[in-house]
Amino acid sequence: MKILFDLLPVIFFFSAYYIAGAFPDEAHALVTKWLAADIPVDLAPILIATFTTIVATALQIGLVWLKHRKVDRMLWISLLVIATLGGATLAFHDPAFIKWKPTALYWLFGLVLIASDMAFGRNLIRKMLEGQIRLPDPIWFRLNLAWALFFVILGTLNIYVAYNFSEKVWVNFKAIGCLVLIFVFALAQGLYLSKHLLEDETSQDEASP
């Protein structure tokens, strides 16, 4: 259930895009009336999906606040990015801005992971996981660096797909492809960590009298 909640903006974006695409005339009439401008028919789905994502992200933050009375900083940053780039897409009727949104967020995640560790000595991946697993310090460093580099690569891949493939291909990549890549990377990370956890347990057993 939590995974679905975390994916709320992505689900809304994907659903709104394809629903609008299934009813092009109605979507075009809605966007033209709403933005008070002569919008090309083929732009209606992405504009509706963009607006829906902004609303979904704001709704997500509101629900988190009601439940916990606090909101994670990254959620606020996510809202700021989507509101800025999504707002630019709506204002200028240009999908290029919203296509940069995943890249901006992924690069920001990577930068934060690297800067927190290098500049402030705070390994954020360790902070999130050390309550569940115990690893040697070098492994925590590699893990944090691996996630940072992964987000940088994923952000680069997003913008490559956005500018070299059709809009529908990009939407599918954003909504499904990125999630699959994250899942595969997390799975590979789990296999890597299990090896070190096994080695750690073995060394502890050997050290026991």
pLDDT at residue 209 greater than cutoff 80:
no
What is the reported pLDDT for 204?
44
Average pLDDT score, the chain: 89
User: Domain locations in the chain?
Assistant: 1-94, 95-204
Q: Which of the four pLDDT bands, split at 50, 70 and 90, describes residue 121?
A: confident
Three-state SS annotation for the chain: CHHHHHCHHHHHHHHHHHHHHHCHHHHHHHHHHHHCCCCCHHHHHHHHHHHHHHHHHHHHHHHHHHHHCCCCHHHHHHHHHHHHHHHHHHHHCCCHHHHHHHHHHHHHHHHHHHHHHHHHCCCHHHHHHCCCCCCCHHHHHHHHHHHHHHHHHHHHHHHHHHHHCCHHHHHHHHHHHHHHHHHHHHHHHHHHHHHHHHHHHHHHHHHCC
What is the reported pLDDT for 193?
80
Q: Which of the four pLDDT bands, split at 50, 70 and 90, describes residue 200?
A: very low
